[in-house]
Amino acid sequence: MSGLIEVGLVGEHNFLVEMAHAAAQVGSGPALSQDGALEVLSTPSLIAFMERVSFRMLEARLPDDLTSVGVSVQVSHNAPTLVGEKIRLRAEVSAVEGRRVTLQLQAWDDLELVGDGTHQRAVIDRESFIQRLLVKRER
């Protein structure tokens, strides 16, 4: 991946936490109020946002015949974020080993660090992956 993806590459994106991202909506936590006023960002949604910022950053650097897929995620969800608030996600490439890219992740709301962690993605040949899926679908 030399020249395409380098250690230190950074991607950032802001997301609005919507009711669809709430713990009660995705089934990872309880409803905290009947009117939805106290609903919070779910850990699965936080991870999805982290993966999304990582994917977008790498996709912008890769030629059309390559893409990246997530292979591991280790995340700490450190603080709640209410539905309706914005969060800022940051992904930084910390290692590139062959086709494997390791990223350090952080998420903040307006008050504090919401979560952090490590994510690994594999850079793959898009067409080979599609062919593999087609074979798998036929089984």
Nearest CA among 133, 84, 91 for reference residue 116: 91
Cα-Cα end-to-end distance for the chain: 33
The CATH homologous superfamily of the domain defined by 10-138: Hotdog Thioesterase (3.10.129.10)
Distance of alpha carbon 106 from the chain centroid: 10
Between the alpha carbon of residue 9 and those of residues 31, 48, 64, 123, the distances in Å are 38, 20, 19, 15
Which amino acids are annotated catalytic? Answer: 43, 51, 77
Which sequence spans correspond to the domains of the chain?
Answer: 10-138
The 10s digit of each residue's pLDDT in 75-112 is 999 999 999 999 999 999 999 999 999 999 999 999 99
The 10s digit of each residue's pLDDT in 38-79 is 899 999 999 999 999 999 999 999 999 999 999 999 999 999
Predicted TM-score (pTM) of this structure: 0.92
Look at residue 1 in the predicted model and tell me its pLDDT.
64
Residues 6+ apart with CB under 8 A from 133: none
DSSP track, 47-105? HHHHHHHHHHHHHTTS-TTEEEEEEEEEEEE-S--BTT-EEEEEEEEEEEETTEEEEEE
